[in-house]
Amino acid sequence: MDRRRVVVVAYDAAELLEIASITSTLESANWHGAAPYYEYRVATPGGHPVTTATALTLDAQLTLERVTGPLDTLVVAGGIGAENAAASPLIVGHVRRLARESRRVASVCTGAFVLAAAGLLDGRRATTHWGFAQTMADRYPDVVVDPDPIFVRDGNVATSAGITAALDLILAFVAEDNGDELARTVARNLVTYLQRPGDQAQMSMFVEAPSPANSLVKRTIDYISAHLRDDLSTAALAVEAGVSERHLTRLFLKHLGQTPGRYVRQVRTEAAAHLLASTSLPMAAVAVRCGFGTAETLRQAFIDRYGVPPSHYRLTQAAG
């Protein structure tokens, strides 16, 4: 069987963990498949070693300027050096050239800036690390930037969120290329999920931003987390907090960027995701425990936030 040629584009201050997530996933697929499936190489400008974002030096196997197609997959890594890479005519020009000779093009994290600079994301939906999404949207108005998903596929171009989201994206490629069984084996070997839905939110209650400085808001969100089954309407929360509904809403918008009702729905949905992945509770029981009342209400909230029904989410987590 012919190997699929994969080229990973790296540059100074690229993120080493992203590059390793790509290559380690492909190497695991080679080890566990019936035959080697992927021939992966790292290409850098001039073929020179690069100093990664973690100050470790990474050797290249290929000179970016000399790489020719056809390629199966072209992947641009991200990292704190991505903005400089996106401003480099050499890097952008050769990424644009190689994209025309590749079956599939992808980026990890801020590597999306390089694809955008090359015009490869114009008119497409794309994502990047949530912390850089607004900058990307402002800088490249022709790109439809969605800051929420772990990864996005639009035609033959894929973009992913930060760092370990590379695992989710490359596992999806392995499944697409070689079937779900090999992808499940690779996921187990890497001790990771197979696979988080691409539309799963980058941020969850487990890695959320720091608690708000406002003591009343903090006290209210602590109450919400501890009373998911209870009445958590804005009116009920206002009574619990000892303020008017209008004042509570104003505080939530200022410190959390959303209304109390929207925040409650988010926390309940994330709690349901945790139970679906970690327990065998029936769907109706998960719905009740998280305050949705019915499985159908849970289903609608789950699709709104993650883009997939809870039953599908549970199956993908169990498979990992």
Is the alpha carbon torsion for 238, 242, 246, 251 positive or negative?
negative
Q: What is the 3-state secondary structure (H, E, C) of the chain?
A: CCCEEEEEECCCCCCHHHHHHHHHHHHHHHHHCCCCCEEEEEEEHHHCCEECCCCCEECCCEEHHHCCCCEEEEEECCCCCHHHHHCCHHHHHHHHHHHHCEEEEEEECCHHHHHHHCCCCCCCEECCCHHHHHHHHHHCCCCEECCCECEEEECCEEEECCCCHHHHHHHHHHHHHHCHHHHHHHHHHHCCCCCCCCCCECCCCCCCCCCCCCHHHHHHHHHHHHCCCCCCCHHHHHHHHCCCHHHHHHHHHHHHCCCHHHHHHHHHHHHHHHHHHHCCCCHHHHHHHCCCCCHHHHHHHHHHHHCCCHHHHHHHHHHC
- The closest of 261, 129, 269 to 204, measured between CA atoms, is 269
Per-residue confidence (pLDDT) for residue 319, from 0 to 100: 44
Q: HSE on the CB side for 302, CA within 13 Å?
A: 25
Q: What is the pLDDT of residue 311?
A: 87
What pLDDT is recorded for position 203? 45
d(CA 251, CA 217): 7
pLDDT at 178: 87
| pLDDT value of position 119 | 97
Catalytic residues: 109
Q: Per-residue pLDDT tens, the chain, 320 aa: give them.
A: 478 999 999 999 999 999 999 999 999 999 887 666 899 999 999 999 999 998 999 999 999 999 999 999 999 999 999 999 999 999 999 999 999 999 999 999 999 999 999 999 999 999 998 888 889 999 999 999 988 778 888 999 999 988 778 888 998 899 888 887 888 888 888 776 555 554 455 544 444 455 677 889 988 988 888 888 899 999 999 999 999 999 999 999 998 888 999 999 988 998 888 888 767 888 999 999 899 989 999 999 988 887 788 888 787 665 44
Note the pLDDT of residue 36. 67
- Rounded alpha-carbon distances, angstroms, from residue 240 to 231, 232, 246, 257: 11, 10, 14, 21
